[in-house]
Amino acid sequence: MTIRVLLADDQDLLRRGFKMIIDAQPDMETVGEAADGAQAIAQAAALRPDVVLMDVRMPGTDGIEATRHIAAHLPEVKVLILTTFDVDEYAFTGLRAGASGFLLKNVRTEELLTGIRTVAGGDAVLAPSTTRRLLDTYARTFHAPEAGLPPKDVLDPLTQRERQVFTEMASGRTNQEIADRLVLSETTVKTHVARILAKLRLRDRVQAVIFAYENGLSAPGR
């Protein structure tokens, strides 16, 4: 199936560059463009793309608010946030607003395409090293409970094995890394991840990490 992508960025040159890359792929096509958040919301509603490649800083309605609206009203449309290293806090805010991941604007072409395919497939773009640094830096900003306190039974729906997998997910590890650490097959890990997300009513792995921080199940440096 062809992955339908909406580009939301106030820089025309960047949109053109992304469009050329995306349209050159046999499994992707650009279905629309938006120069601000309001246009992104309208285009997402009208076109129902699989993925919105969303800039953060745009005039008027910014990418964060647009992401929040799309996640709330168009849950089948996935948002992939674009940001720069200098404003990582926007990436974290975007993830909390409902984005399925984030990429830096200086991302390599292969990483951009992999990110789009990953998000379109229902998973999240969660680069462990970048995500851990990002959350370690900004987790306290959102007043998460202190790690080590009782988790208020938020993990009660999970089995013991699912709790182990959740702990690894909260550390930003990939399915393969989790499989290696717990001596499981990657397929088994994928099954556990799907069950965990369903039981905790989480959208994807990114939301699982944020859930862990907000409930005091993980903290900077852990």
Q: Please state the domain extents for the chain.
A: 3-125, 147-214
Using the 8-state DSSP alphabet, how is residue 68 labeled?
H
Neighbours of 2 (CB within 10 A): 12
State yes or no: pLDDT of 60 exceeds 80: yes
| For residues 92-120, average pLDDT | 85
Residue 58 sits at φ, ψ, to 5 deg, of -140, 155
pLDDT at 91: 67
What is the CATH code for 147-214? 1.10.10.10
d(CA 192, CA 197): 9
Task: Please give the mean pLDDT across all residues of the chain.
Answer: 83
pLDDT at 122: 77
d(CA 166, CA 148): 16
Q: What is the pLDDT of residues 14-27, one digit of tens each?
A: 999 999 999 999 99
State yes or no: pLDDT of 118 exceeds 90: no
Residue 80 in tokens: 């992939």
Check if the beta carbon of residue 178 is closer than 8 Å to that of residue 184.
Answer: yes
Q: What is the pLDDT of residues 167-187, one digit of tens each?
A: 888 877 778 889 999 999 989
Helices (H) and strands (E) in the chain, counts: 10, 5
Check if the beta carbon of residue 147 is closer than 8 Å to that of residue 217.
Answer: yes
Please identify which residue in the block is written with the tokens 């805010």: 93
| For residues 4-8, average pLDDT | 97
**CATH of region 3-125, choose from 3.40.50.720, 3.40.50.620, 3.20.20.10, 3.40.50.2300:** 3.40.50.2300
| For residues 30-58, average pLDDT | 95
State yes or no: pLDDT of 87 exceeds 70: no
Of 28-32, 122-126, 217-221, give the lowest mean pLDDT range: 217-221
Please identify which residue in the block is written with the tokens 């946030």: 81
Helix axes 160-170, 205-214, angle to 10 degrees: 90
